[in-house]
A and B are shown apart, each in its own frame.
Chain A
Amino acid sequence: MTRLHLKYALLTAAIFLPLLWAFVYVRNVYPVATWNVMMAGGLLERGRSYWILRGETVSGETVDIRPINLTNAMYSRTWAMVNATVDNQSFKLQNIHPTNAELLRQAGGLEHLPPAARLPDLLRAWGNLYNERLPTSSTERLKAIRLDMYRWEGGRYADYDKFVESWRQEL
Chain B
Amino acid sequence: MAPGIVNRVVPSSAFALGVARVVVHGTFLVSVLVTSFSALGQLPVTILRPTGAMKFLPWTFYDQLLTPAGMTILKLAMVVSLVASTAGLLTSVSTKTSFLMVLFYQGFVRSFGHFNHDEMLGVYCLAVLAFTPCGDEFSLDQKLRKIRKDRPAFAYAYPILLMQLLMAWVYFSSFLIKLRIAGLSYLSPDNLPALAIYHSLDNLHDTAFTWAFWLPQVKGYLPAAVALVLLWEFLFPLAVFFPRLRWWILGGGVVFHLSTLFLMNIFFPHQLALYLLFVNWDHLARKFKFR
Contact = CB atoms under 8 A, between A and B. Distances in A.
A84 B202 contact: no
B121 to A, nearest CB: 9
Contacts of A52: 202-203
B59 A97 contact: yes
A122 B266 CA distance: 23
A66 interface: yes
A152 B162 CA distance: 44
Given A72-B39, A77-B116, A78-B205, A39 B46 contact: no
A42 to B, nearest CB: 3
Interface stretch (A5-13, A106-114, A137-145, A163-171): A5-13
B170 interface: yes
Contacts of A33: 115, 117, 120
Main secondary structure on chain A at its contact with chain B?
mixed
B34 A72 contact: yes
B221 to A, nearest CB: 16
B131, B151, B155, B203 — which one has the most chain A CB atoms within 10 A of its CB? B203
Given A39-B177, A53-B204, A157-B216, A44 B39 contact: no
B164 to A, nearest CB: 13
B232 interface: no
Contacts of B128: 11, 15
Interface residues on B, range: 35 or more
Contact of A129 (B39, B59, B174): B39
B42, B128, B132 — which one has the most chain A CB atoms within 10 A of its CB? B42
Given A30-B110, A39-B178, A97 B45 contact: yes
Contact of A99 (B46, B53, B197): B46
A31 to B, nearest CB: 6
Interface in A75-114: 75-82, 84-85, 89-90, 93-95, 97-100
A150 B200 CA distance: 13
A44 B196 CA distance: 11
Contact of B39 (A5, A64, A70, A94): A70
A119 to B, nearest CB: 8
A42 B193 contact: yes
B106 A31 contact: yes
B64 interface: no
B173 A78 contact: no
Contact of A73 (B40, B114, B181, B194): B40
Contacts of B188: 41
Nearest to B185: A41
B116 A81 contact: no
A121 B46 contact: yes
Contacts of B204: 50-51, 53, 66-67, 78-79, 82
A76 B206 contact: yes
A31 B194 contact: no
Interface string B46-73: 1111111111000100100000000000
Nearest to B166: A15
Interface in B109-167: 109-110, 112-118, 120, 123-124, 127-128, 131-132, 151-152, 154-155, 158-159, 162, 166
B280 interface: no
Contacts of B195: 38, 41-42
A128 interface: yes
A35 B166 contact: no
A53 B267 CA distance: 21
Closest 4 pairs (CB-CB, A-B): A77-B113, A30-B52, A42-B194, A42-B195
19 contacts: A29-B51, A33-B115, A33-B117, A35-B117, A41-B182, A41-B186, A42-B195, A42-B197, A66-B204, A67-B203, A78-B204, A81-B113, A90-B47, A97-B46, A118-B47, A125-B44, A128-B42, A157-B193, A161-B201
